[in-house]
Structure 1
Amino acid sequence: MTNDTIHVSLFSSFAHARAAAGGALDGAAQPGPFDRLGWFEALHASAFPEATPLILCAKAGSAMAWLFLTGGQDGPVDGITNWYSFLFRPQFVSAPLRETRLRLLSALAARLRGVTPHLRFHPITDEGGSDRALLSDALRTAGWRVIPRVMAHKRMLHLAPGMRFDAYWAARPGSLRSTFRRKARQRPVVVDIHHRLDEGLWSIFESVFAASWKPEGDDFAFLRAFAQAEAEGGRLRLGVAWLDGAPAAVELWTVEQGCAYIHKLAFDERFADASPGTQLSHAMFRQAIDLDHATRIDFGTGDNGYKAAWMPETVPMWQIDAFDLRHAASWRPAFATWLSALSQPTGSHARQSGPPSGRRAALDAAWPP
């Protein structure tokens, strides 16, 4: 690919992007659910129904890099994400080497300088910093001023290959294990874990959410379509805990390529004293570890307190803002973003080793060596 000419294409419709991708952004061709073209298309229709997507592809030979974006009218251009997105990152096809990816992404970043003075990507949650570093390097190469910030944290679990659920469970806090033992003895639930989906099962899922503490605002049509697609791909794990003949808790997971994703969970508050969610999670983790052989489990966005007992590791959720300072319109938001990054205390990333964050990251971004 080194000597191949890079061709950059812009698409304003998912149909045209799908035709150009030729199936390379579907199903198992990509590493996870948040990398598939179908995910971006459905999410854009749900979250940005009035907006026109901005889809970019850089191609050199058989290698491709893609960015799925939206916005830009009197505001920044953003990655297509919302609260359902565990991560945002570029998608690649036939480009395993970092050198190739950087060259392709730099071409996209250069093309975007003629589109908007402000780019914004969130959440970037790579544990080793590879996605963040690659995207930042590509933007800087193309002349953007890049400012990264840690906006929140999330929970992840890494398991040694071959680890069984019993070993994982033995390492959980005593309070969690004792709660499970006590509740499972006093008011045991019956757990069903479904790999397929039908209207009746989805109706149960929605009914538990309606009776839960969860605030309103979920797009159940979007979630239903996502769950159906995952079921058709053999990736769905939808758990239901039954108590006294009624659904007491539900959890929506998917599993693929060694990673289990926890998308949604809720319990009926009428059954709170039985801890049906804890009992169901126990069964879902056992399924993921012992039967699906997951070596990573991703608890989604946010660092809610209840997640810590199940997963000891925290991972930062980064936002990358990039500004084209040739445009005066970018100066005020760039300065405000830089001040926001400076306000992060040094060591705000201390819960995980890795590249610097907070003031150090802001300074490195504003004045890279």
Structure 2
Amino acid sequence: MTATTSIFLQKSWFALLKEAGLPGGAAHHILDAAGLRMHLLRVPGGLESCSNFYSPDFGFEEGSQPTEISLRAFARQLRAEAPSRIMLRPMRRDTPVVALLSQALVAEDFRVDLLPVSKNWYLPCAGLSWSDYLAQRPSRLRNTLRRCQTKLRATPGFRIDIIRDAGRTLDAALAAYNRVYASSWKEAEPYPAFMPGLCHMAAAQGSLRLAVLYVRDEPAAAQVWFVKDQTASIYKLAYDARFSRLGVGTVLTAALFEHVMTVDQVSEIDFLTGDDSYKSEWMSHHRELVALLAFDQLSLSGKLRALRHFAPRWLKRKIGKTA
């Protein structure tokens, strides 16, 4: 297997999450074994992934080299931590590491379950031109986009800025993003320092694509994307409700699709978490995101937790057979 690579699995990502995206007192714990590093949280009776609503992906820290042998060693180290329950999420079910880590935990007397938690829509686009991509989209999306683009181009003070670098321009774009976010349908950020910190981190690495659409020189829509290792990740979307009839969100999404295809020449565009219906209009594929649950079968508390978890499913099957 190749080394883990994702902006959401970098050491700097976990450092930022710990500093600005977790409640005070969260017990951060790094498990390092056999060349694999995983960022975890100690919780009563067990271990959980160092992840939350900011985390579209979870796994080993970037640079780890998971193999069947190293995963067995890692599972043994997890066993030594004596957790009665382990919860890791979200993880992509189709990756080999999920199956191999599950097998390694079973070999260490854990009972494992994979629970679906969300879907991940994505678009393989290596060598695909913007015009060819657009031609493949549903006619409803193409017609909406064309109509909204025409309307916006005729509106005074319309422009789209795409910010990649740190500095005063980024600070101004972040202020515009915050203004849009506050005027959107989104709930207020529970950790206000996290998004600015993440954008500055990504800008320093050359991964940031922070786009702001202006109407009459007012910020009307904003999106935060990241580009790393030929993958463009769509992280945050928001638009000011006052401008919704102009389709500002649709137009800005299209502008960023075109940018990452033609300028960055990415091979995949990733909509990260969420099975929202509109994503299927932009994307062509989806995969399942799961939570990996493991219960220690050598401890009473682990057995009891497993019983509580699996019993409803067992009873449902039992009732179904006798019905």
Fold similarity call, TM over 0.5: yes
SS of 2:272's equivalent in the other structure is coil
Aligned with 1:119 (options 62, 66, 86): 86
Deviates more, 1:86-95 or 1:207-216: 86-95
Gaps of 5+ in 2: 318-323
In 2, Cα distance between equivalents of 1:215 and 1:260: 25
In 2, Cα distance between equivalents of 1:340 and 1:252: 41
- Structure 1 residues 224 and 92: CA distance shift in structure 2, 3 A: closer
- Structure 1 residues 122 and 30: CA distance shift in structure 2, 3 A: closer
Aligned with 1:86 (options 40, 49, 56): 56
Aligned to 1:50: 25
Aligned to 1:314: 286
- Structure 1 residues 342 and 232: CA distance shift in structure 2, 3 A: farther
Deviations 1:61-114 (A, max 9, x none): xxx111110023x2431111111211111236473xx6xx22222222222223
- Structure 1 residues 224 and 112: CA distance shift in structure 2, 3 A: same
Amino acid at match of 1:164: S
In 2, Cα distance between equivalents of 1:326 and 1:94: 29
Gaps of 5+ in 1: 1-28, 346-369
Mapping of residues 195-210 of structure 1, within 5 Å: 195-197=164-166, 198-210=170-182
Deviation at 1:269, TM superposition (A): 0.5
2:41 is the counterpart of 1:70: yes
Residue pair 1:121, 1:319 contacting (<8 A) in 2 also: yes
SS of 1:82's equivalent in the other structure is coil
Aligned to 1:33: 7
In 1, Cα distance between equivalents of 2:290 and 2:299: 25
In 2, Cα distance between equivalents of 1:240 and 1:169: 22
SS of 1:193's equivalent in the other structure is strand
Aligned to 1:172: 137
In 2, Cα distance between equivalents of 1:114 and 1:67: 15
Deviation at 1:52, TM superposition (A): 2.2
SS of 1:56's equivalent in the other structure is strand
In 2, Cα distance between equivalents of 1:342 and 1:179: 48
Aligned length: 306
Aligned to 2:105: 139
Aligned with 1:298 (options 262, 270, 273): 270
2:260 is the counterpart of 1:288: yes
Deviation at 1:218, TM superposition (A): 4.5
Q: Please, what TM-score do these two structures have when normalized by structure 1? A: 0.78
In 1, Cα distance between equivalents of 2:10 and 2:177: 24
Aligned to 2:121: 155
Q: Please, what TM-score do these two structures have when normalized by structure 2? A: 0.88
- Structure 1 residues 134 and 340: CA distance shift in structure 2, 3 A: farther
Deviates more, 1:194-203 or 1:334-343: 334-343
Deviation at 1:125, TM superposition (A): 1.5
Aligned to 2:200: 228
In 2, Cα distance between equivalents of 1:241 and 1:66: 39
Aligned to 1:105: 71
- Structure 1 residues 68 and 341: CA distance shift in structure 2, 3 A: farther
Higher relative contact order (CA 8 A, sep 6+): 2
Amino acid at match of 2:147: R
Deviation at 1:268, TM superposition (A): 0.5
Residue pair 2:29, 2:40 contacting (<8 A) in 1 also: yes
Identity, % of aligned positions: 29
Q: What is the alpha-carbon root mean square deviation over aligned residues?
A: 2.1
In 2, Cα distance between equivalents of 1:231 and 1:139: 38
Residue pair 1:151, 1:319 contacting (<8 A) in 2 also: yes
Deviation at 1:38, TM superposition (A): 1.3
Deviation at 1:319, TM superposition (A): 0.9
Deviations 1:288-319 (A, max 9, x none): 11111111111121111221211132211111
Amino acid at match of 2:272: G
SS of 2:225's equivalent in the other structure is strand
Deviates more, 1:86-95 or 1:258-267: 86-95
Residue pair 2:90, 2:289 contacting (<8 A) in 1 also: yes
Aligned to 1:247: 219
Deviation at 1:142, TM superposition (A): 2.3
Aligned with 1:185 (options 146, 150, 167): 150
SS of 1:53's equivalent in the other structure is strand
Residue pair 1:103, 1:138 contacting (<8 A) in 2 also: no
Residue pair 1:119, 1:321 contacting (<8 A) in 2 also: yes
